[in-house]
Structure 1
Amino acid sequence: MERVHYFLNAGLCCWSLALFTWCVSGSPWAILPVALALIAFLLHGFQQRVLIMFGKNKSPTAEPQNTIVVAPAAVEKETPREEKQNNTVISSEVRFEGNIIASGQVYIYGEVHGNIESSGGIIKIMRNGLVQGNITCRELIIDGTVNGECSSDSIDIYENGILNGAMSYTALAIKKGGVFIGKALMQPAAEKKTNVIDLAPEPVVDEPAPAQKSRQKS
């Protein structure tokens, strides 16, 4: 039993006892429990006031909770994407009719009926690829079939490569199994230019003859 409700419970018990005594015998002895009950109720009210005065009946305040502040993640700056070289791909089961002028690499898996030009890139004729036309590029790799004239600094004919026509090259490599039919012209390697400044010879001044000097003196 809590001490806070001790007098209240005692008053209720005395009041119940007074009612029981009055109902059973009707004797004046029931006045005593009634008086005790009233005293208990008064003491209970006084006790409540004391508790309120000293703040013992106050509801406990909520303790401050530790809050965790999460800083927003720093947004990483997107690094500029590197410019990728443009590639041209003719996929298998594709027949392209017309000329192709590209600045990057060219991969031929299907058929091309026309000329292909890539002055600064690489052209590769893949296996089962077919080109009916002329090819001009920096580096040419043939693993399929080419019917036409090829002009390149470097030409490689792989095992399944067939070149039927003419070719002009600086470096040539034909692997075992590769086929070449036609005319070949080897170009001289480009000479490296050196920055050399020619020194012009100093002009020569003709000195006068001795006889002329004597005449000038006289």
Structure 2
Amino acid sequence: MEHGFGDSGRLGIAQTELAVKAAYYMAVSEPMALQREVFGGSGDEDDRTLPVVVRAMLSRRRGVFQAYEIVRAGRRGQKLYEVDEAGMLTLTAGGETRELSDSLVRHTYNGEPLAEVASGFKAASLRWADVTTAVEALKKSVANMARVPIHVGGANLVERDGWESEQVSSLRSKLDRIDRTLADWADRYDDLDESGARESEEHA
């Protein structure tokens, strides 16, 4: 399962059974009801059928974990949630589990080899997904560290003792540079958006 089931060609009997069950529970789950999704505007439409999307999912290790979670939750009548590369439920910025949707699954498992998505909006979108996943992982790690007790049943260690200031300052400096980079991207996007709006008004 290191690279998913689909890398070696056709799915075996067990894998096919998993695919069928996952497809069923995604089809009957309200947020996952198959729909047509668009990425990047005209000419970049993802109109794959559900079986094709599931096949792309099972070609990746994370997707195999996701399929098992879909079947597990589906059998219990529970909502379907996204999992990470380790099969653990992913969390949003607010610490909530992220419910699966048609667009989320299509975006995560776009069915294209990475070599074919080395540039353009799709490639950038995949990298953005990596960025957000890394941020969620960082938040989770900080929360886990904050819960470490001085001893079993004791108070939180860092709440009582803090942490070495030079290490904290170094990490905060790195995070600050990342924050400024993201802010620059957002400013650039807003500038282009405003410029486009003005041009539209001038030609109206």
Same fold (TM over 0.5): no
Higher relative contact order (CA 8 A, sep 6+): 2
**Greater fraction of residues in helix:** 2
**Greater fraction of residues in strand:** 1
TM-score, structure 1 as length reference: 0.19
Structure with larger Rg: 1
